[in-house]
């Protein structure tokens, strides 16, 4: 059966679970998500792989980062800016960066994504959420 984005939790973030930079970003989102709207899965998880395959994205591409919101997939800088809308202030103001053309935003995003392992390193395994956060992570 084909996957339907509508069947996924709203505000689902698909991220690289072995990337320290990505994990730090997810922890930042969790700390600044006042209404607890975000859910998470890794590009290495069964559901993450299914989502990426459905969207025609490569889990091994360092720029793979997805937000599923209202049955729509946002990627790269568009995903990050869409996420920022739900973060507590002042972080929610980052959405103002949408004034820059997507091609420029994505070029900056891609540069960071391709260097993310050099920035903070790589884990040998995906992060394990605490029991308090487990319900927000899909496997």
- Does the pTM surpass 0.85? The reply is yes
Cα separation, 106 vs 3, in Å, equals 27
Share of the chain above pLDDT 90, in %: 50
Mean pLDDT of the chain: 87
pLDDT tens per residue across span 50-93 = 999 888 888 777 678 899 999 899 999 999 999 999 999 999 99
- Helices (H), ranges, 6-57: 20-31, 46-55
* The pLDDT value given to residue 61: 77
Torsion sign over Cα 32, 69, 101, 77? positive
Cα separation, 127 vs 19, in Å, equals 9
pLDDT band at 36 (very low <50, low <70, confident <90, very high): very high
* The pLDDT value given to residue 125: 62
* The pLDDT value given to residue 107: 94
Cα separation, 98 vs 95, in Å, equals 6
CATH classification of 9-125 is 3.40.30, yes or no? yes
pLDDT, average across residues 117-131: 72
Show the beta-strand stretches assigned E in the chain: 12-15, 39-42, 66-69, 72-75
């Amino acid at each position: 059966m084909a996957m339907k984005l509508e069947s996924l939790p709203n505000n689902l973030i698909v991220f690289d679970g072995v990337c320290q930079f990505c994990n730090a970003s997810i922890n930042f989102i969790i700390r600044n998500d006042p209404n607890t709207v975000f859910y998470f899965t890794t590009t290495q998880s069964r559901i993450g792989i299914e989502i990426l395959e459905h969207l025609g994205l490569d889990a091994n591409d360092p720029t793979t980062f997805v937000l599923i919101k209202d049955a729509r997939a946002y990627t790269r800088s568009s995903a990050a800016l869409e996420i920022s809308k739900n973060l507590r202030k002042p972080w929610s103001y980052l959405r103002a960066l949408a004034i820059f053309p997507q091609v420029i935003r994505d070029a900056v995003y891609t540069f960071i994504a391709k260097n993310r392992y050099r920035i903070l390193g790589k884990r040998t395994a995906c992060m394990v959420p605490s029991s308090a956060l487990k319900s927000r992570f899909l496997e």
